[in-house]
Structure 1
């Protein structure tokens, strides 16, 4: 059986790559005859995909794997494809297997796709990795894919697919580039861009696609534009697309089938059921996949995880009046783990432990509470950070749980426990802060530099009851967290000093530290040597109360995101209330800030101690919500693309 490689000879057909052109029917193990009911068709479709998954033809197996994952059979996919990934050394084939394994929830295989983007990898393999990342809504950590996108002046399949993956993660320049390709590019490139904007749901491309449709001269070009328009909801295209099921070319039929299922064209179901007995293997696989897609669409709709939504995952109760200082991590199986401090009283010094909940649906719902770290301090444990300790190019990525072990007003120790099994168990505690004193590590504050160095930014004083003045200094590890040492210099500031720092890597190998203070603004200092020494601190130019601020780099754009309380009230406690909770973006490494907006601003509440995770094109935040003497912990999901729209006045 011969695979027909369609990826770049006809670029649009990357959406149906590896469809077989020969005749090898996978339904031989299934009784003949047309299914008599929808339920029978769905059962038969599932059997076709399960048989196809075992095919020696990799293209057939990959298409079957995609259909089975969409049908909720992820473990079957992992069991079938994981051994093949271990056995094959061909780089492009490894990308294709990794794509379907990540789609099925085996996120450790993402490392293979990120590795395939490196400069010394073959162009064809880089292109396959870009395409795979787009199809599974991933971008790694962003810089390498942004580099591929920056080459877009030389338009080719790789740069278009890199743009598509970044646009999926909210990059507005990448979305604009895709529209330019649709408007001006040759047909082979237009087809890829049409496929991309359709999956992005980019309604602004509809007019551009219709304009190009007028000059489409081949069946392939017409199908490409009809399919894209159908996915974007154009009724004429939705009506026209099923006509391609009658085409004599099995490849055209297969492509049309795929998009009919994705577009949810239920009226085509009888014809799809008939095609389950088609003599072409690729056609039957796609027909089975489409039938199951239509079945999924008929289920009761759930909340769309791509929208802006919030959940009070840890609401305050009489028994536990304070849940605060959280951190979220995406585990290998696509589960979100949300950890937080559970206090028995509202005080920072009350008895507390670190608890967590898990979500399997992107944060829409959360499971039962579990204890991640029981109280081992004389007072409490609190302020958790969950971090991968190795880059996404590594197949095995240990997870570090950093937290404070609080014994007294002069003894708070920063501790680290490492998990090698996805936070099911953790190793023995490793002491991070090397000396005695009252050390504050805010929640979700540990940074891994591009060099691999781990930085834990601390605010410290010898005894907070005797000396309520803090300086900031960083603990550093160059061996994945096994050993730690203190940076050479500290950062000080007037009044109560420099408090609650965070660090972010800036252009080159520089590091910026921002910190809380009492002067009515966010302050910052710079390091040229990875957190060892620091420049003289000064204002960042952003007003704010005495409250922590969070700064991160948006992976799809490279911009900085600032989260803080955009409010200063002289004479008030802490220089103003921690309301509103605001966002702003900088495209010049923090020199200026734009697109400011409020995330929360309800009167009578305060919001602070945020955590940040960028995941599947979304900004995932947690923060405390205080009011009426109680503090709850809230999860919020915001599409990254929304950050780049002008906020409502």
Structure 2
């Protein structure tokens, strides 16, 4: 009996283990199927697509000019990177970036500087820290990165950024904080829900496009189980804001979209390339960003680096990019397109230095002028401002 009882006990134990393993396997298969469906899906966000705000065409009447300066001269941090710009209603500019010992380091913080009417940038100040985000969200945070600024006709300013819980960029989550006084003080940090994979891997990078009726279409990208571009739709509602995500294109090869509205319904998106083709890709939308054409490569090189673009008042597109060089990002050039991104012509070199790096340009176009920030030598944040008359001058010289 004791032996028989022992056999029965062993069998029951084996059956229990098999049952547990079966249930675990079912859960894993269900999760994997759902994740694969999400990853491969081209379904669009359950939100309105109201159309883009496009600035009125303002003919340039001033002579050509180009000027540049350094926003954070003598910065004590070894690395300053991924800068963003925003213009406030009164004409002030805000610049935000992350800085620390390096990417995904525990001392990284988000910094902000302000340019007033006198044209001078204020000393940079810390606005978001790793410790503060971890405390507010009640979760582990090992680093921060990729700040992005949102501004409209009010004094309200939004700050998107990522917090990294583990690993590197694929372990990041997107967060948002709001300022009601033009970026001088900031409210609590809120984590956004971007995908079903533990809400990991979504990152912002390039300028948002304002929407009719309020809100923004924010170009973002995923880095886990592939690299692909998306749009985060932030739109106002009665009690706050709603956020939803739509896919531009699936796969593993393109990321960091730059979104440029052509009019209220049409837009073009430019992409960083992660393949051996080393060409910037472009896609188009005719329905306010609801659906997109399949991306196609252009004649502009891409050395696995960020690009940015703006629409000028005459309808031309201006793109900032890293051209081929012995090093990876030893130059920063401008190219212009007069056929909505299908073909491009180099018109100017902003920086070029062997052994250095000039990367992650971020541009805004306002009233016939273009403003840009970018990372120089991974140490400084440079600001450049020029007008469309200067762009036309460079285009004529390049012919």
Structure 2 counterpart SS, 1:645: helix
The offset of 1:412, in angstroms, is 1.3
Unaligned runs of 5+ in 1: 1-139, 147-164, 169-199, 202-305, 570-575
The offset of 1:327, in angstroms, is 1.7
Q: In structure 2, do the counterparts of structure 1 residues 521 and 359 end up closer, same or farther at CA, with 3 Å as the change threshold?
A: same
| Larger RCO (alpha carbons 8 Å, 6+ apart) | 2
Partners of 1:616 and 1:538 in 2: how far apart? 31
Partners of 1:450 and 1:522 in 2: how far apart? 29
Give CA-to-partner distance per residue, 1:317-374, whole Å, 9 cap, x none. Answer: 5x4101111122233443322222121x1234443111122222464x3222222222
Structure 2 counterpart SS, 1:314: coil
Partners of 2:190 and 2:290 in 1: how far apart? 21
Partners of 2:215 and 2:287 in 1: how far apart? 11
Q: Which residue in the other structure is 1:150 paired with? A: none
Alignment of 1:459 with 2:221, yes or no, is: yes
Partners of 1:616 and 1:516 in 2: how far apart? 28
Give the alignment's Cα RMSD to 1 decimal: 2.7
Partners of 2:74 and 2:99 in 1: how far apart? 9
Give CA-to-partner distance per residue, 1:587-618, whole Å, 9 cap, x none. Answer: 22112223521111122211111121335643
Unaligned runs of 5+ in 2: 1-52, 135-140
Show the 5 A alignment for 1:32-431. Answer: 142-143=55-56, 146=57, 166-168=59-61, 200=62, 307-315=65-73, 317=75, 319-343=76-100, 345-361=101-117, 363=119, 365-375=120-130, 376-377=133-134, 378-388=141-151, 390=152, 392=153, 396=154, 398-409=156-167, 410-431=170-191
Bigger proportion of residues as strand: 2
Q: In structure 2, do the counterparts of structure 1 residues 420 and 491 end up closer, same or farther at CA, with 3 Å as the change threshold?
A: same
User: Is the Cα contact below 8 Å between 2:177 and 2:189 reproduced in 1?
Assistant: yes
Partners of 1:527 and 1:632 in 2: how far apart? 36
Q: Which residue in the other structure is 1:608 paired with? A: 359
The offset of 1:510, in angstroms, is 2.6
Show the 5 A alignment for 1:452-601. Answer: 452=214, 454-462=216-224, 467=225, 469-479=226-236, 482-487=241-246, 489-493=247-251, 496-507=252-263, 509-517=265-273, 518=275, 519-554=277-312, 556-567=313-324, 577-594=328-345, 596-601=347-352
Alignment of 1:439 with 2:202, yes or no, is: yes
Give CA-to-partner distance per residue, 1:399-445, whole Å, 9 cap, x none. Answer: 22111122223531112222222112233333334232222221x43
Q: In structure 2, do the counterparts of structure 1 residues 549 and 420 end up closer, same or farther at CA, with 3 Å as the change threshold?
A: same
Give CA-to-partner distance per residue, 1:561-580, whole Å, 9 cap, x none. Answer: 111112266xxxxxx52132
Q: In structure 2, do the counterparts of structure 1 residues 635 and 437 end up closer, same or farther at CA, with 3 Å as the change threshold?
A: same
Which one of the candidate residues 357, 378, 390 is aligned to 1:642? Answer: 390
User: Is the Cα contact below 8 Å between 2:310 and 2:365 reproduced in 1?
Assistant: no
The offset of 1:543, in angstroms, is 2.1
Partners of 1:558 and 1:452 in 2: how far apart? 23
Partners of 1:359 and 1:353 in 2: how far apart? 20
Partners of 1:547 and 1:334 in 2: how far apart? 30
User: Is the Cα contact below 8 Å between 2:256 and 2:306 reproduced in 1?
Assistant: yes
Q: Which residue in the other structure is 1:573 paired with? A: none
Bigger proportion of residues as helix: 1
TM-score (norm 2): 0.73
TM-score (norm 1): 0.47
Q: In structure 2, do the counterparts of structure 1 residues 584 and 341 end up closer, same or farther at CA, with 3 Å as the change threshold?
A: same
Q: In structure 2, do the counterparts of structure 1 residues 315 and 374 end up closer, same or farther at CA, with 3 Å as the change threshold?
A: same
User: Is the Cα contact below 8 Å between 1:619 and 1:640 reproduced in 2?
Assistant: yes
The offset of 1:452, in angstroms, is 4.3
User: Is the Cα contact below 8 Å between 2:333 and 2:346 reproduced in 1?
Assistant: no
Partners of 1:535 and 1:349 in 2: how far apart? 38
Q: In structure 2, do the counterparts of structure 1 residues 511 and 142 end up closer, same or farther at CA, with 3 Å as the change threshold?
A: closer
Partners of 1:337 and 1:453 in 2: how far apart? 19
Computing the radius of gyration from Cα coordinates, the structure with the larger value is 1
User: Is the Cα contact below 8 Å between 1:416 and 1:429 reproduced in 2?
Assistant: yes
The offset of 1:451, in angstroms, is 6.2
Q: Which residue in the other structure is 1:210 paired with? A: none
User: Is the Cα contact below 8 Å between 1:316 and 1:322 reproduced in 2?
Assistant: no
Which 4+ runs in 1 deviate beyond 4 A?
A: 450-453
The offset of 1:523, in angstroms, is 1.0
